[in-house]
Amino acid sequence: MRSGYPQFHRTLEVSAISLFAAFISGIAWRLAQTLDDAASWLVLAVAVVFGYVAADFVSGFVHWLADRYGSETTPLIGNTFIRPFREHHLYPDAIAKHGFIETNGSNCIVCAPVMASAFFFMPMTPSLIATFALGATLAFGMAIFATNQFHKWAHMSQPPLAARLLRKYFLILTPEHHDLHHETPFDRNYCITSGWWNPILGRLRFFGRLEATLSFFRLLCTNQDIFDQTSAVRQNQNVIDDLP
Ligand SMILES: [Zn+2]
Ligand SMILES: [Zn+2]
């Protein structure tokens, strides 16, 4: 485990992964009740693509927020959520050494409440709308869960066979694509599930314009120098002590 990784956060991650698994199973069970003809399976196929594409956008949006706003000292989320993103720029390959819990726990902390809300509040009566809503939510949740795993695989010199197969068909983030994010000043290719949104958002200069808009209306201002934000991490020479 990396330094600055509190035991409390670890316990929270294990709990969140368990809850996430329980609610995603519940959503899958409810979805199964709605699949009774060819039309529902067709709607499910569309919903899965929609959920997967949406997850890639959300992965980029959250990554952008964590990279560009706040700092390691931000209350509540600084040490546990923002710091790992900033550390990752300094030690990009350290993620390849993270275990299952450390890799996937934070995503589940955010995603488990969303899946719980979906399980309790989504339509129960079988219909094509219910099939779409449940199918898209299931695909979205599973893709968010897998995002940091895909990201980790993009930093591994020898990823598993499944990763290589999925990459071959550009279904998940590729190292060549993600390496562009790791070029200073770390301000492009934020999406890390499949990376499909990156060329579109890049061409639109989406995040740059959003930053300018938020700054113009004095809603949020980015830290001017992202490297200043990592000073606490840089001073911590033990950050990868645990690496073999
Ligand atoms: Zn980043
Ligand atoms: Zn990375």
Q: Tell me, what's the pLDDT at 72? A: 82
| Helix runs in the chain, H state only | 7-34, 38-68, 83-90, 100-121, 128-154, 161-168, 175-179, 197-204, 206-216, 226-229, 231-235
* Ligand 2 centroid, distance to 154 Cα (angstroms): 7
* Ligand 2 centroid, distance to 192 Cα (angstroms): 8
Q: Tell me, what's the pLDDT at 126? A: 81
Per residue, the 3-state secondary structure of 156-213, as one string, reads CCCCCHHHHHHHHCCCCCCHHHHHCCCCCCCCCCCCCCCCCHHHHHHHHCHHHHHHHH
* Ligand 1 centroid, distance to 46 Cα (angstroms): 30
Q: Tell me, what's the pLDDT at 222? A: 63
* Ligand 2 centroid, distance to 119 Cα (angstroms): 32
User: Do the Cβ atoms of 137 and 122 come closer than 8 Å?
Assistant: yes
Number of domains in the chain: 1
* Ligand 2 centroid, distance to 88 Cα (angstroms): 6
| Residue 243 belongs to some domain of the structure | no
Q: Tell me, what's the pLDDT at 219? A: 66
- Is the bond preceding 244 in cis, omega lying within 30 degrees of 0? no
Q: Tell me, what's the pLDDT at 221? A: 63
Distance CA 105, CA 13 (A): 4
* Ligand 1 centroid, distance to 63 Cα (angstroms): 6
| Residue 95 belongs to some domain of the structure | yes
| Residue 238 belongs to some domain of the structure | no
Please tell me the number of the ligand nearest to residue 59's CA: 1
Residues 28-56 as b or e (16 or more Cβ within 10 Å = b) = eebbeebbeeeebeebbeebbeebbbbbb
Please tell me the number of the ligand nearest to residue 184's CA: 1
Query: Long-range CB contacts (< 8 A, 24+ apart) of 118-123?
Result: 118/23, 118/27, 119/23, 119/26, 119/27, 119/30, 122/27, 122/30
Q: Tell me, what's the pLDDT at 51? A: 98
| Residue 244 belongs to some domain of the structure | no
| Residue 222 belongs to some domain of the structure | yes
* Ligand 2 centroid, distance to 151 Cα (angstroms): 6
| Residue 240 belongs to some domain of the structure | no
Residue ranges in the chain modelled with pLDDT below 50: 224-225, 227-244
* Ligand 2 centroid, distance to 155 Cα (angstroms): 7
Please tell me the number of the ligand nearest to residue 174's CA: 2
| Residue 241 belongs to some domain of the structure | no
Q: Cβ contacts of residue 94 below 8 Å, gap of 6+? A: 2, 87, 88, 239, 240, 243
Cα separation values, 109 from 13, 77, 151, 191, Å:
6, 12, 18, 19
Q: Tell me, what's the pLDDT at 10? A: 85
Q: What is the pLDDT of residues 179-201, one digit of tens each?
A: 999 998 888 999 999 999 999 99
Q: Tell me, what's the pLDDT at 2? A: 55
Instruction: Give the domain range for residue 29.
Output: 7-233
What residues have their beta carbon closer than 5 A to ion ligand 1? Answer: 67, 186
pTM exceeding the 0.75 threshold for the entire prediction:
yes
Please tell me the number of the ligand nearest to residue 190's CA: 1
| Residue 57 belongs to some domain of the structure | yes
Q: Tell me, what's the pLDDT at 237? A: 41
